[in-house]
Chain A
């Protein structure tokens, strides 16, 4: 294949030269603002662990704007008669123009994301308080490159069929969002989001029958249980969100559709982008430059596209109308809706075609769209699932209690599924579960999630069954070094990253843990940061199960406390005192610098965790610079510290008594 038949780089160079101001803005605006936001976020924190959105917040919004501007800039000649005459008269074919501009636009998007990546990398390296997974930055560049490219090629399709900028934007929105929007409308039963439709669980096998199920004498409940039907709902529907990238972000934000797999979304977006390039090419080769400065090549096409733009409005109106009753107020709402729709139609016509299309044709288009949406909406609502039969569950995914997906694995074992469902049926009758595990179940009619609260015996039973299930073992995403990229201590004030010796020690100790539960406020809480499938996660792990790690952590705390020796003029807040052998802790004010002096005197002491120890959790401010920091000091000299504390308490009591006496006298 001769490349010169497909591309004309001389044309591309000149076309880009013509649009150099916009291209320059596209390349630098987003990366520069991104890095400024990143720096602003990072400088105000002790340790900053950024997610993809922290380092590229503006890229998300830019995805819906920049590629559209870029495409319109590169194809700007199609909107004016004289510019289209000028460009189309040159010895360049439509195919060359389209493919060259597409390639050029994708190159600009690529350069923009490389600039963004480089700036973020430099910022991350220069900022000492940033703990980041560098792989995430590269994946960020990939995510935005694919997302931007997709929006760009969608706009190119719109450019190929529309003849003014307003209709280009309208068609771009349709290409980007219409099909997934309709799918969401059908899939969510006309936006019945969050409304649990399942009202009963059906259990026909013995394995899933709950051991303790109390109907409290309710006859309907007792009759249902005899039939193996257990009323009550504890399920939350999980809606699949594997659309293309631009719509997925919106659906997860607006429709709270959480079941997304970014790798799958990226692949889908990438392949659809390739298909869209060819569709755009076919349409551009057939583009009629005769209709430049109108909307589309015919009035029929104009009405068709305009009707499609009405779909989201009418879907929302359909949902609203279903909620209405026949009252005067509601009638007014209906009339208001129609007025709104026709106002939109008139404005759309005036802007895009500079005249108002026959009102009867417009009315007919609204009625047709309305009938189709009502029909689709009624069908989807009638498909509502109201009962869940345990035997229909194909797959069960076990997650940690916080749904962080850090320890996630799945099973097809009916025995495990029945056992868990039996506990769940019991659970829904109880309130406020304290210890819980989250589950996701997949059936052919949909996916749901629920939580169960379990005692130690049941937890052991579940873990035992899972430990014998090969599918679960293989699929279990336990903590491992490839996913974990760092730890933080003491509420993100100290970080342990891959360069620290302790990092490997901790990784080796915790990697076999399958289920991770939250922990109390222990100073041995490690916040584990993982990065997997484009998502940054963290989970708290209490590492007090291992003495070696505990001593290492104490050493890190005490080493950090040495910083306070360098501060000449300081202000210490109150000290939180805790002990190894008791959960409660107490606050104390440092009188006459007694605690400060105690800390300084014992900084070099090696702490043995096999003995009793006490810790002081405090903040320390340098008055000269105004900077403050948080510290934890750990010591085995518990009795010495206690005697200081007793003295301070006595002084406090004396002062209080003096104050009371003074007030009385």
Chain B
């Protein structure tokens, strides 16, 4: 388990992370979203021991990461700005990882390269941006590390490869009980893969939840009644948002016990449609409910 406790980090006089506290449970995929400069990459670098926190603690499996090479055998990081040694082929990089990670699986590495049609013996510098990202990801996945940290994970990948890569990550997580932390400034990239999501804003986690819970608790309801109506007519329902156009209203309902539908049916509506929300919509309405404007953060 990754435990982050009152973590603070500032550059010059500006705090990038301030009193950040949250945990990431094992064998899950944790998505970290936030606008550019929100501190996502800084947080990953601190977790990996590349940067040092000004205050607070991070422990992985109850151990401090800094100068702990044994623990770092269980951790792998793919930064947003990729680096490969000049003149190295994918095979060279594989061997480099193999020399430093005890559990590196060369066969699996070759298998993944084959699956993604990556030429093992071609110089990586000659690869496209997306192919370089694939190279970095398969190198990291083949380490069989317990904790994988991917910064801007799918940046530059086309939709087909993105889906393939997601499947590979999920398979890895299921097979090896891996914990994956991935960041993105694009919520849609993460919604179909993450178990948990955290929204980073002004150095802290503004909002954090399990995706399944969020998704199953919230609905978009389109309703029309015979008589004229307004928001006050739905006082016994937990409404996050209410918008009415003509005789039809679009209501975002938070419904933990599934009782809202029965209550609305009792009002004998002319139209009553329950729709699932996208993750982005969930975030937007949650943020609105908290008094923030979502577009400021993402």
Contact = CB atoms under 8 A, between A and B. Distances in A.
A93 B69 CA distance: 6
Interface string A78-118: 00111111101111111110000000000000000000000
B186 interface: no
Contact of A88 (B48, B76, B85): B48
A10 B79 contact: no
A10 B82 contact: no
Interface residues of B, number: 27
Contacts of A591: none
A285 B67 contact: yes
Interface stretch (B94-102, B188-196, B240-248, B264-272): B94-102
B81 A91 contact: no
Given A10-B100, A91-B100, A289-B50, A85 B83 contact: yes
B244 to A, nearest CB: 50
A10 B96 CA distance: 9
A90 B83 contact: no
Interface stretch (A11-19, A63-71, A461-469, A514-522): A11-19
B220 interface: no
Contact of A82 (B11, B48, B49, B79): B79
Given A14-B96, A14-B99, A93-B69, A88 B82 contact: no
B58 to A, nearest CB: 15
A36 B52 CA distance: 51
A92 B69 contact: yes
Given A82-B81, A82-B83, A90 B49 contact: no
A158 to B, nearest CB: 21
B72 interface: yes
Contact of B52 (A13, A93, A288): A288
Given A14-B99, A81-B81, A289 B69 contact: no
A89 B77 contact: yes
B51 interface: yes
Contact of B67 (A14, A83, A85, A95): A95
A43 B48 CA distance: 61
Contacts, number: 67
B91 to A, nearest CB: 13
A85 B72 contact: no
B45 interface: yes
A92 B83 contact: no
Q: Which of A13, A91, A290 has the largest number of chain B CB atoms within 10 A?
A: A91
A13 B99 contact: yes
Contacts of A88: 48-50
A85 B69 contact: no
B65 to A, nearest CB: 10
Contacts of B67: 93-95, 285
Contacts of A83: 83
A453 to B, nearest CB: 69
A23 to B, nearest CB: 14
A522 to B, nearest CB: 66
A90 B100 contact: yes
A88 B72 CA distance: 10
Q: Chain A: interface residue count, which band?
A: 20 to 34
Contacts of A91: 69-70, 72-73, 75, 100-101
A27 B101 CA distance: 30
Contacts of B72: 89-92
A628 to B, nearest CB: 54
A205 B43 CA distance: 81
A90 B145 CA distance: 11
Contacts of B82: 82, 86
B83 A80 contact: yes
B96 A289 contact: no
Interface in A246-264: none
Interface string A435-465: 0000000000000000000000000000000
Interface string B29-66: 00000000000000001001111100000000000000
Contacts of A94: 67
Contacts of B77: 85, 89
Contact of A84 (B50, B73, B88): B50
A85 B45 contact: yes
Contacts of B73: 91
A176 B247 CA distance: 83
Contacts of A92: 69, 72, 100
A80 B85 CA distance: 12
Contacts of B88: 18
A89 B100 contact: no
B101 A89 contact: no
B184 to A, nearest CB: 17
Contact of A290 (B11, B68, B96): B11
Nearest to B48: A89
A290 B86 CA distance: 23
Nearest to B42: A290
A152 to B, nearest CB: 22
Contacts of A84: 50
Contacts of B96: 14
Contacts of A89: 48, 50, 72, 75-77, 79
A85 B100 contact: no
Contacts of B52: 288, 290
Interface string B6-26: 000001000000000000000
A213 B27 CA distance: 101
A85 B101 contact: no
A95 B45 CA distance: 18
A295 to B, nearest CB: 14
B79 A85 contact: yes
A94 B76 CA distance: 17
Given A85-B81, A93-B69, A10 B99 contact: yes
Contact of A86 (B51, B75, B83, B101): B83
Contacts of B79: 82, 85-86, 89
A559 B186 CA distance: 94
A18 B83 CA distance: 13
A14 B93 CA distance: 10
A10 B69 CA distance: 13
A92 B69 CA distance: 5
Contacts of B83: 80, 82-83, 85-86
A255 B206 CA distance: 66
A96 B85 CA distance: 20
Contact of A85 (B50, B68, B85, B86): B50
Contacts of A96: 69
A83 B75 CA distance: 18
Contacts of B75: 89, 91
A93 B70 CA distance: 10
Contacts of B81: 81-82, 85
Interface string A520-551: 00000000000000000000000000000000
A89 B140 CA distance: 11
Interface string A344-381: 00000000000000000000000000000000000000
Nearest to A286: B52
Interface string A118-150: 000000000000000000000000000000000
Interface in A1-23: 8, 10-11, 13-14, 18
Nearest to B78: A89
Contacts of A290: 11, 51-52
A95 B49 CA distance: 13
Interface string B91-123: 000001001110000000000000000000000
A93 B96 CA distance: 16
Interface in B140-181: none
11 contacts: A80-B83, A84-B50, A89-B75, A89-B76, A89-B79, A91-B69, A91-B100, A92-B69, A95-B67, A289-B51, A290-B51
Given A93-B67, A289-B51, 5 more contacts: A14-B99, A18-B88, A89-B75, A90-B100, A91-B100
Top 3 A-B pairs ranked by shortest CB distance? Answer: A91-B72, A89-B77, A86-B83
